[in-house]
């Protein structure tokens, strides 16, 4: 569970509209004379998004989907809805208090202009404090940066970001429209008593874009926890359903081809509130300096992409693999990820394909060189991943079978993103010739990678997994690339302990290993002694 803020998504969408005709006579059917207003002239700005996401804190518990929520939401807006990155995603150890302050007050304040639109999205831990003042109480909310000391009896409140001060600072940024999205436990505290209903009536479209807006969407009420996982793979309940509403167009409640920030808030409120097992109800409304406008997300760009033919002719050479499924052949989708491409079709979603592309890009496996290509598809219940590898050294390793462990590890990593096992890898070279094929099935166990705060792997660390029900203990050492893999554990809850010279002992309890297996538990160790 996320204790508070998760992603502050600030969305400013620059939209251009014709100015009202001006006249010196009384307008027909109205009471008054139209006034000249220079602010009503068409705006030519950029749609920007900036995101913050933290899974692996220095002292707080690990989260599962905060980083993928941040990067996935940004990817959706940039790939499908015409947004641009205002700054590189601020994630993990870079999302310190100073880093977040610098993003808002230095990068965004200097880059953004009044005619621009911005979405700022924050995902990570948060917390609240109840102050007793006289006979009453006041609840304050805080965002937790990467380096904040752990919560406890001696709380270090100065380590956190006061959410009201954060929003007040954000409200003074230049863009006319700002949307802040918080996906975290208790995030509704950001609204306080300021709650505005949806302003989605289409006839106000021009007014909404010309008036200043400051809107916040919070994933849960001030007294509610927010689920870290949901039905959309690799995303929280709130962010996954919100992204789904944009992709399917369901958030466009008036069917007009665009979604306002308040419409998106209303959609998320209903979709999350009625979701199976949900214990949270999102809230939305205006904050400091809001003047009744609204941010608008046009859906036309996404629809144009859906109807476009894939640019297969631009890829160097044919991909000699079995024919695509009928559904995929009829309507393949394509994502460009820097130098590589990924093709996918039903039943895979954009979010799943994007998560896959990001994973392999980060691993430097499939998207190293121009012409690298991945095809994601289903074949008789098996997820098939076809990869075209362009790098000669990688091709040789695959031909010799010396890289099978990397493929197996990759399959275990990506399985949750695409609905589980089994997975079949087919790897081809630049000529389209198959050089490796490998099937990967579920293994019941616990696995992960041990790194330090900088991301450097820690080899030869001692790793123990203890069954909390019967005390049975398994013990191994990390490999040269920092990996550990308990591949035959009984179902149950486990405590993971990791020790390495020069680092504090790491412990995490209640890790669940089910009959479906493949529970991942990456470890980030802190320098020091116990």
Q: What is the pLDDT of residues 220-275, one digit of tens each?
A: 877 777 888 888 878 899 999 999 899 888 898 878 788 999 999 999 999 998 88
3-state SS, residue 121: strand
Q: What is the DSSP pairing of strand 10-11 with strand 84-85?
A: unpaired
Residue 45 structural domain: 10-18+38-301
Residue-wise pLDDT for 204-223, tens only, equals: 455 556 788 899 998 887 77
The string of DSSP letters for 452-512 reads ETTS-B-TT-EEEEEETTT--EEEEE--TTSEEEE-S--SEEEEEEEE-TTBPPEEEEEEE
Q: Give buried/exposed letters for 96-130 (b at 16+ CB in 10 A, else e).
A: bbebbeebbeeebeebbeebbbbbbbbbbbbbbee
- What does the alpha-carbon distance between residue 55 and residue 67 come to, in Å, rounded to a whole number? 6
Among the candidates 439, 459, 479, a domain finishes at 439
Q: How far apart are the C-alpha atoms of 208 and 202, rounded to whole Å? A: 9
- For residue 316, the tally of other CB atoms under 10 A from its CB is 12
Mean pLDDT of 391-419: 73
Q: Are residues 380 and 494 in the same domain?
A: no
- Contact yes or no for 221/39 (Cβ under 8 A): no
The domain total for the chain is 3
Task: Read off the pLDDT of residues 39-75 as tens digits, 9 standing for 90 and up.
Answer: 334 456 899 999 999 989 999 888 888 988 998 899 8
Residues 90 and 207 in one domain: yes
The per-residue pLDDT for 312 is: 28
| 316 and 219 inside one domain | no
CA dihedral (411, 416, 422, 426) positive or negative: negative
Q: Is 404 exposed, middle or buried (0-12, 13-18, 19+ CB in 10 A)?
A: middle
| CA distances (Å), origin 270, targets 262, 263, 410, 460 | 12, 11, 36, 49
Calpha distance 440→421 (Å, rounded): 8
Residue 530 lies in a domain: no
Of the residues 404, 439, 474, the one at which a domain ends: 439
Question: Residue 30 falls within a domain, yes or no?
Answer: no
Domain membership flag for residue 4? no
Q: Are residues 71 and 210 in the same domain?
A: yes
pLDDT over 60 (residue 200): no
Among candidate residues 503, 448, 462, 510, the one with its CA nearest the CA of residue 58? 503
Residue 148 lies in a domain: yes
| One domain, residues 505 and 387 | no
Pairwise CA distance, residues 442 & 491, whole Å: 13
Helix, strand, or coil (residue 278): coil
115 and 97 in a single domain? The answer is yes
Q: In this prediction, what percent of the chain has a pLDDT beyond 90?
A: 28
> Residue 81 corresponds to which tokens in the numbers above?
């809805």
Confidence of residue 331 (pLDDT cuts 50, 70, 90): low
Highest mean pLDDT among 111-120, 154-163, 208-217, 359-368: 111-120
Both 243 and 376 in a single domain? no
Three-state DSSP state, 74? helix
Chain centroid, CA 413 distance in Å: 17
Evaluate whether residue 27 is within a structural domain: no
| Length, in residues, of the chain | 530
What predicted TM-score, i.e. pTM, was given to this entire model?
A: 0.53
- What is the reported pLDDT for 19? 31
Say whether both 198 and 259 belong to one domain: yes
- Evaluate whether 86 touches 74 at the Cβ level (below 8 Å): no
Residue by residue, DSSP assigns 281-318 as --EEEE-TT--S---EEESHHHHHHHHSPP-GGGSSS-
Those residues whose C-beta lies under 8 Å from the C-beta of residue 402, and which sit 6 or more positions away, are none
Mean pLDDT of all residues in 459-463: 94
Strands 136-143 and 126-133: antiparallel
Residue 497: count of CB within 10 angstroms of its CB: 18
286 and 327 together in one domain:
no
The reply to whether 28 falls in a domain is no
Q: 110 with 191, same domain? A: yes
C-beta atoms surrounding 195 within 10 Å: 11
Identify which of 121, 362, 137 has the alpha carbon closest to the alpha carbon of residue 239: 121
Examine the domain organization and report whether 373 and 462 are in the same domain: no
Contact 484, 451 (CB under 8 A): no
What's the pLDDT band for 148 if we cut at 50, 70, 90? very high
CATH at residue 476: 2.60.40.1120
Q: With bands split at pLDDT 50, 70 and 90, how would you rate the model's confidence at 12? A: very low
Q: Where are the alpha helices (DSSP H) in 195-310?
A: 205-210, 237-248, 261-273, 300-307
| Within a domain: 484 | yes
Is pLDDT of 311 > 70? Answer: no
pLDDT at position 80 is 84
Task: Indicate whether 521 belongs to any domain.
Answer: yes
Q: What gap in Å lies between CA 156 and CA 137, rounded to an integer?
A: 20
Coil, helix or strand at residue 85: strand
pLDDT of residue 117: 94
**Which CATH number does the domain housing residue 178 bear?**
3.40.50.1460
Task: Say whether both 128 and 258 belong to one domain.
Answer: yes
Q: Which is more confidently placed, 239 or 30?
A: 239
Domain boundary among 301, 325, 346: 301
In Å, the largest CA–CA distance within the chain is 87
Contact present, 211 and 293 (Cβ < 8 Å): yes
H helix or E strand, kind and range, residue 20: none
Measured CA to CA in angstroms, residue 20 lies from 36, 38, 44, 213 at distances of 9, 10, 17, 20
Residues pairing with 512 in the sheet:
493
DSSP state of 176: S
- Measured in Å, how far apart are the chain's first and last C-alpha atoms? 27
């Amino acid at each position: 569970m996320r204790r508070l803020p998760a992603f502050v998504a600030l969305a400013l969408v620059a939209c251009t509209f014709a100015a009202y005709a001006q006249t010196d006579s009384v307008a027909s059917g109205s009471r008054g004379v139209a006034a000249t207003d220079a602010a009503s002239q068409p705006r030519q700005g950029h749609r920007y998004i900036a995101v913050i996401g933290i899974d692996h804190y220095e002292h707080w518990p690990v989260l599962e989907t905060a980083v993928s929520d941040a990067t996935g939401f940004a990817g959706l807006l940039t790939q499908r809805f015409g947004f641009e990155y205002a700054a590189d995603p601020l994630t993990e150890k870079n999302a310190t208090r100073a880093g977040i302050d610098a993003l808002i007050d230095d990068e965004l304040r200097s880059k953004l202009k009044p005619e621009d639109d911005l979405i700022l999205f924050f995902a990570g831990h948060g917390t609240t404090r109840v102050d007793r003042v006289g006979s009453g109480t006041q609840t304050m909310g805080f965002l937790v940066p990467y380096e904040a000391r752990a919560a406890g009896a001696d709380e270090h409140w100065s380590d956190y970001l006061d959410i009201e001060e954060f929003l007040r600072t954000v409200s003074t940024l230049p863009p006319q429209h700002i949307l802040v999205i918080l996906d975290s436990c208790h995030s509704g505290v950001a609204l306080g008593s300021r709650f505005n209903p949806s302003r989605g009536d289409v006839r106000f479209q021009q007014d909404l874009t010309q008036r200043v807006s400051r809107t916040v969407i919070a994933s849960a009420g001030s007294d509610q926890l927010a689920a870290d996982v949901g039905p959309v793979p690799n995303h929280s309940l709130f962010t996954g359903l919100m992204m789904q509403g944009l992709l399917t167009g369901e958030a466009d409640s008036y069917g007009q081809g665009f979604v306002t920030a308040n419409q998106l808030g209303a959609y998320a409120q209903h979709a999350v509130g009625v979701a199976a097992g949900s214990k949270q109800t999102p809230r939305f409304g205006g904050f400091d300096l809001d003047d009744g406008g609204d941010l608008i997300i046009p859906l036309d760009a996404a629809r144009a992409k859906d109807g476009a033919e894939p640019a297969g002719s631009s890829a160097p050479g044919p991909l000699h693999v079995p024919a695509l499924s009928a559904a995929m052949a009829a309507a393949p989708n394509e994502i460009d990820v820097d130098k590589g491409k990924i093709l996918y079709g039903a039943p895979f979603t954009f979010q799943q394909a994007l998560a896959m592309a990001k994973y392999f890009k980060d691993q430097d496996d499939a998207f190293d060189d121009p012409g690298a290509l991945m095809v994601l598809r289903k074949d008789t219940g098996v997820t098939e991943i076809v990869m075209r590898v362009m790098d000669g050294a990688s091709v040789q390793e695959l031909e010799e079978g010396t890289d099978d462990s990397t493929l197996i590890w990759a399959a275990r990593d990506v399985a949750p993103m695409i609905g589980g096992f089994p997975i079949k890898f087919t790897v081809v070279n630049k000529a389209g010739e198959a050089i490796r094929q490998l099937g990967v099935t579920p293994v019941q166990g616990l696995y992960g990678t041990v790194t330090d705060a900088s991301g450097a792997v820690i080899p030869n660390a001692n790793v123990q997994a203890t069954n909390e029900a019967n005390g049975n203990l398994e013990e191994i050492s990390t490999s040269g690339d920092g990996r550990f893999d308990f591949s035959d554990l009984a179902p149950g809850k486990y405590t993971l302990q990791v020790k390495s010279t020069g680092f504090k002992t790491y412990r995490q309890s209640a890790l669940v290993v089910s009959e479906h297996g493949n529970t991942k538990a990456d470890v980030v160790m802190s320098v020091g002694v116990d």
